Amino acid sequence: MPLNAALLFLLQNLGHGKRSVMVSVKQMLRWENTVLPILLEEKLLVEAELAKSLPCKCVEKDCLMSVVSSDLCDEVTGKVVGATSFGICGKSHSFIGILTEFEQHYLKQWQLTNEMLIAWLTKYLRLEPPKEANRAGVIQIGTATLDGESYALALGSAEELVLLVNGDAVPMAKIFQVSEGGAIEVVTDLIEAHKSQKVIDIEPTSPKKSTSAKRQVRKEETQKLHAAWQKEYKKLRQQYPNKSKYSNSWIAIQIAKLPIAQGLHKDTIRKNMVL
Ligand SMILES: [Zn+2]
């Protein structure tokens, strides 16, 4: 698994109210060799406490044994020279034995916390401390300044982990990318897109403006249509001046047959063809 896939795994496993995601040795072994050192270097992973349980060696299905570790001391000096771990069956609670070196290796795990992610983003985006207080499921990250405009960033973790840009949610998994050179980057364009979108959205007059603009366009189109009917009416009335023989209704029927009628009813045409 390359770096971008590993990052995606981490980000997709955060959220839903969780504060951190754990990576087991089993998971980590699926990653390319270079991934763990990069994530540790970037402080997007840190070595966590040893796991407290492992699959049990007993015959019970899906049993987990609790692992109890204790320091191994030198008999003479009393100094700590290492550690040893014991397994206790989760179902029978009987002693299983001292874990092998291989099993002890499998107790290792790493974690990424929301705080680590925030620290990384703060550094990368050179954020200023947040002005707002945290709310339920929302951690304020800070204020970013781009092109002289500032906008608030927050972490939403109630459901999928999201970056809130002025309150607009962008999935965290989309924010991060790995450059061709293998460096972890933030898709600032994506953040900026949401920033500018929000600036338009929060402008209270803009939705009304756009609706009234649409209405204005429709009004002008109708006026043009009526003007075309009025022109045609004048032409036909000159050709057929006898009003008792060729009524306005008759002329409306003639206009209704033309393309300028645009499929509208003869009565609609009759009402609008005379100024
Ligand atoms: Zn067991």
Domain residue ranges in the chain: 3-113, 126-202, 211-273
Dump strand ranges (E) for 34-104: 46-47, 53-55, 64-73, 80-89, 95-98
Work out the pLDDT band at 264, boundaries 50, 70, 90: confident
- Strand-pairing partners, residue 149, are 146
Tell me whether residue 191 is exposed, middle or buried, using C-beta atoms within 10 angstroms of its C-beta: 0 to 12, 13 to 18, 19 or more: buried
Residue range 2-36, pLDDT digits in tens: 999 999 999 988 888 888 999 999 899 999 999 99
pLDDT over 60 (residue 201) = no
How many angstroms does the Cα of residue 23 sit away from the middle of ligand 1?
23
How many angstroms does the Cα of residue 110 sit away from the middle of ligand 1?
25
Residue range 110-157, pLDDT digits in tens: 999 999 999 999 999 888 888 778 887 788 888 888 767 788 888 888
Work out the pLDDT band at 72, boundaries 50, 70, 90: confident
Which helix (H) or strand (E) segment is 12 a member of?
helix 3-12
pLDDT of residue 205: 42
Task: Answer for the pair 20, 112: CB distance below 8 angstroms, yes or no.
Answer: yes
pLDDT over 60 (residue 252) = yes
Q: What is the largest CA-CA distance in the chain?
A: 130
How many angstroms does the Cα of residue 87 sit away from the middle of ligand 1?
9
Nearest CA to 99 out of 50, 59, 61, 62 is that of 50
How many angstroms does the Cα of residue 97 sit away from the middle of ligand 1?
12
How many angstroms does the Cα of residue 56 sit away from the middle of ligand 1?
5
How many angstroms does the Cα of residue 81 sit away from the middle of ligand 1?
30
How many angstroms does the Cα of residue 219 sit away from the middle of ligand 1?
78
How many angstroms does the Cα of residue 66 sit away from the middle of ligand 1?
9
How many angstroms does the Cα of residue 46 sit away from the middle of ligand 1?
30
Which amino acid type is present at position 57? K
How many angstroms does the Cα of residue 250 sit away from the middle of ligand 1?
96
In sign, the C-alpha dihedral spanning 253, 254, 255, 260 is positive
The span from the first CA to the last CA of the chain, in angstroms, equals 75
How many angstroms does the Cα of residue 85 sit away from the middle of ligand 1?
16
Secondary structure of residue 145 in the 3-state scheme = strand
How many angstroms does the Cα of residue 26 sit away from the middle of ligand 1?
20
Work out the pLDDT band at 266, boundaries 50, 70, 90: confident
Does residue 234 or residue 200 have the better pLDDT?
234
User: What pTM value is reported for the model?
Assistant: 0.62
How many angstroms does the Cα of residue 90 sit away from the middle of ligand 1?
5
How many angstroms does the Cα of residue 95 sit away from the middle of ligand 1?
9
Task: Answer for the pair 49, 20: CB distance below 8 angstroms, yes or no.
Answer: no
How many angstroms does the Cα of residue 104 sit away from the middle of ligand 1?
17
Residue range 203-214, pLDDT digits in tens: 344 444 456 666
Nearest CA to 54 out of 73, 68, 37, 44 is that of 68
Residue range 166-199, pLDDT digits in tens: 888 888 888 888 988 888 988 887 887 777 554 4
> The tokens 């002008």 sit on which residue?
220
Mean pLDDT of all residues belonging to the chain: 85
How many angstroms does the Cα of residue 67 sit away from the middle of ligand 1?
12
- Distance in angstroms (rounded) separating the CA atoms of residues 52 and 64: 10
